[in-house]
């Protein structure tokens, strides 16, 4: 887990909204980073700062929805909250489908904003834990030799040692040795746990 404090990235081309928003969030104890244009924000994006992004939906250049896509394609998974000056149901449905946490109409109340931000930060923290775990799983898995990986995959499918040996054209005894290695390298206690490991690996 990274130790950097959670940062709220604010992107709005209206400077006075940007200032007011930043002031409010800082007063509520958050760390903020304001950007007056989507391009400025994208150029300074680094994948590993925890936090969330509050994006204006309508900006010259890139609009908020396009910015959200650009973030995703740069590998930035910060949860997004949209703010907009005029109610627009189709845009909000699109934003929601693209995974936005919330969609606030200006002028918005601090309660709504702060609760949306809490929700986004929780979501980000959970996603981060998930990614760290998944990285650890991949690291352990990559320690296996190619043959051990084959064995691991077949065992996880529920095949017996005998069936695995038949499938790979070798003896049951060799498979037993491979299997013990796999279990040791992956640091699992049982076949059931091995199956779960492979499952999570697949999702990660």
Binding mask 140-159 for other proteins (x = CB under 8 A): --------------------
Q: Which residues contact 194 (CB under 8 A, 6 or more apart)?
A: 152, 155, 156, 182, 183, 186, 188
Which of 2, 4, 19, 129 is in the footprint of other proteins by CB under 8 A?
19
85 forms part of the interface with other proteins (CB under 8 A): yes
Residue ranges in 23-82 that form contacts with other proteins under rule CB under 8 A:
23-24, 26-28, 58, 60
- Between CA 20 and CA 127 the distance in angstroms is 29
Stretch that binds other proteins, among 17-25, 43-51, 179-187, 188-196 (CB under 8 A): 17-25
Count residues binding other proteins (CB under 8 A): 35
- Choice between 83 and 137, CB closer to other proteins: 83
- Between CA 178 and CA 144 the distance in angstroms is 10
Which of 89, 146, 184, 190 is in the footprint of other proteins by CB under 8 A?
89
Q: How far is the CB of 58 from other proteins (least distance, A)?
A: 7
Contact status, residue 32 vs residue 51, Cβ threshold 8 Å: no
Q: Which residues contact 24 (CB under 8 A, 6 or more apart)?
A: 110, 113
Which of 8, 9, 11, 21 is in the footprint of other proteins by CB under 8 A?
21
- Between CA 6 and CA 50 the distance in angstroms is 5
- Between CA 175 and CA 70 the distance in angstroms is 47
- Choice between 93 and 132, CB closer to other proteins: 93
Which of 4, 66, 69, 112 is in the footprint of other proteins by CB under 8 A?
112
Torsion of CA 182, 183, 187, 191, to 10 degrees: 130
């Amino acid at each position: 887990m990274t130790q950097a404090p959670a940062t709220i990235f604010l992107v709005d081309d209206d400077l006075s909204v940007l200032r007011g928003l930043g002031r409010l969030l800082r007063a509520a104890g958050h760390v903020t980073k304001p950007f007056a244009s989507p391009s400025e924000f994208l150029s300074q994006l680094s994948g590993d700062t925890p936090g969330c992004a509050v994006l204006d939906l309508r900006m010259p250049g890139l609009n908020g929805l396009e910015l959200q896509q650009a973030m995703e394609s740069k590998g930035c998974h910060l949860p997004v909250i949209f703010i907009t000056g005029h109610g627009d149901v189709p845009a909000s449905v699109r934003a929601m489908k693209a995974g936005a946490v919330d969609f606030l109409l200006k002028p918005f109340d601090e309660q709504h904003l702060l609760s949306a931000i809490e929700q986004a930060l929780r979501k980000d923290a959970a996603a981060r834990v998930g990614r760290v775990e998944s990285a650890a799983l991949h690291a352990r898995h990559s320690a296996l030799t190619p043959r051990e990986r084959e064995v691991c995959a077949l065992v996880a499918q529920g095949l017996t040692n005998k069936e695995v040996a038949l499938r790979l054209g070798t003896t049951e005894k060799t498979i037993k040795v491979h299997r013990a290695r796999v279990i040791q390298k992956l640091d699992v206690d049982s076949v059931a746990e091995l199956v779960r490991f492979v499952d999570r690996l697949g999702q990660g």
